[in-house]
Chain A
Amino acid sequence: MKILAVDDEPLVLRLLEATLEGLGYSNADFVTSGTAALAQLNAAQTPYSCILLDIRMPGMDGIELCRAIRQMPKYQGTPILMLTALSEKTYVDESFASGATDYINKPIDATELGARLRVARIIHTERERAAQASIYGQGGNGAGPKDPQFDFEDPIQIRDVPRVVNALAFENYLQQLDRLGLFKTGIIGFQIRHADSLFAVKSRGEFSGILTDVAESIFENTRYAKPLVSYLGSGTFVAVVPRARLLDRSELETGIAMTLLDIQLAEVFGPEYDVHVEVGHQINGGMFRSSPKAMIEAAVASVRQHAPGLLSGGFASRIRNLAS
């Protein structure tokens, strides 16, 4: 696995180099600024498979750098792990919203870093396999040569929508919140009605376009609450919002429907569809009983009455199980 580490402090980079070598990762490059990192990423013949970023750096900070990296097509899905000595929530929120996959506290703990890199390696391997499948394994479903390949249950990455992160980053974000952080948090589930039928009649590219439009609509209608949104597969989305911002379900459903209509009118060449998104109850964290997984499941169950245990076979859990 090829790793790029970025930190303005040379001693931290030397520590990282030694720790990575000790963990068996010897194919790594180290740079001390965001500008140098972008140059390195652009020049790389073989793309990096994992990127470690310090959050606080002079000039371009890690959050800005993360955002810039996500704009590069070949790094849209590459695991990005943020490193920081600060545990203030604003930095963590911004990191995930900028496209980070996970978050590691400094001082760096070799065991923790090793565990996160194992997850990153699995993501990298799955991505490589998916890329190979989309090139060679078109199957017999009539999909065009450039149509992406994925199953209905797959929590595919939604691109280019602000504050939308992948399922693993979403779970990681919730995991790092302390008890009080979870208490201050609410999760809302969103379900595309008859998503399975849509999946059956649309091409994968069209279905993916619909998911992007729905993600955009969810973001537009919750943006004032600074949400973090994720797609979990099977037409189901979830959003983290502050507990204090109790959102009105029916207002949200109407707002999302209106935004979807606006998007369709604006997209002359976009797919035609009739999509309705249902909104579940906001599930707020309890001071003593909440776990992130239970909260997500409750939010999903609230919007999909007969789909408990959705996450047990989900991508994020699968990755965690493989890594542990």
Chain B
Amino acid sequence: MTRIAALDPARARLVNTLAKIRGDFLDGLFPLVNELDYQKEALRSPANVPSAIESIQKIAHKLSGLAGSVGFSEMGACAAEIDIATSRLRQRTVRQADLDELDGQVDKLLDHMEAALDEAP
């Protein structure tokens, strides 16, 4: 019979803490999906573009720093791309082609977020 060695207490505590942090990350993901969806729509109205880009960047920045650490590295990488792209867009005139590209990136990030939520218990 295969026996699984018990983790030492410190290691077991770390594993439990990380699992709890991952759970809290997933709990906080659902409102972010809604917010991101809302801001993605806001990109369609020229008057709302600057604030929508800023809000999208905030979400992307938060996810790029966290997602990879709790086991969602693709989501983190996708968020990092958006973080960098929106950072650049905030420093120059935004063209329609930029918005189209950002829209595609946000769609991809939403897919990753929804997939993570699907696997949540």
Contact = CB atoms under 8 A, between A and B. Distances in A.
Interface string A87-108: 1100000000000000000111
A88 B57 CA distance: 14
B75 to A, nearest CB: 11
A21 to B, nearest CB: 7
30 contacts: A9-B62, A9-B65, A9-B66, A11-B28, A12-B66, A12-B69, A14-B21, A14-B24, A15-B70, A18-B14, A18-B18, A18-B21, A21-B13, A22-B10, A22-B14, A83-B65, A85-B64, A85-B76, A86-B61, A86-B87, A87-B84, A88-B84, A88-B87, A106-B64, A106-B65, A106-B66, A107-B67, A107-B68, A107-B69, A107-B76
A274 B75 CA distance: 60
B21 A11 contact: yes
Contacts of B69: 12, 15, 106-108
A85 B82 CA distance: 11
B2 to A, nearest CB: 26
Given A18-B14, A85-B83, 15 more contacts: A9-B62, A11-B24, A11-B28, A12-B66, A15-B21, A18-B17, A18-B21, A22-B11, A54-B65, A85-B76, A86-B84, A106-B65, A106-B66, A107-B65, A108-B69
Contacts of B24: 11, 14
B14 A21 contact: yes
B121 to A, nearest CB: 18
Contacts of B84: 86-88
A88 B81 CA distance: 11
Contacts of A87: 80, 84
A251 B87 CA distance: 38
A56 interface: yes
Nearest to A91: B87
A86 B17 contact: no
Interface string B39-60: 0000000000000000000000
Contacts of B80: 85-87
Max chain B Cβ within 10 angstroms of own Cβ: one of A14, A22, A84, A85: A85
Interface residues of B, number: 26
Interface residues of A, number: 19
A85 B17 CA distance: 22
B105 interface: no
B73 A107 contact: yes
B30 interface: no
A81 to B, nearest CB: 15
Interface in A5-38: 9, 11-12, 14-15, 18, 21-22
B25 interface: yes
A292 B25 CA distance: 39
Interface string B1-42: 000000000110110011001001100100000000000000
Contacts of A56: 61
B17 A14 contact: yes
B76 A11 contact: no
A17 B28 CA distance: 19
Contacts of A85: 61, 64-65, 76, 79-80, 83
A54 B62 CA distance: 12
A76 B66 CA distance: 30
Contacts of B76: 85, 107
Max chain A Cβ within 10 angstroms of own Cβ: one of B11, B69, B76: B69
Nearest to B57: A56
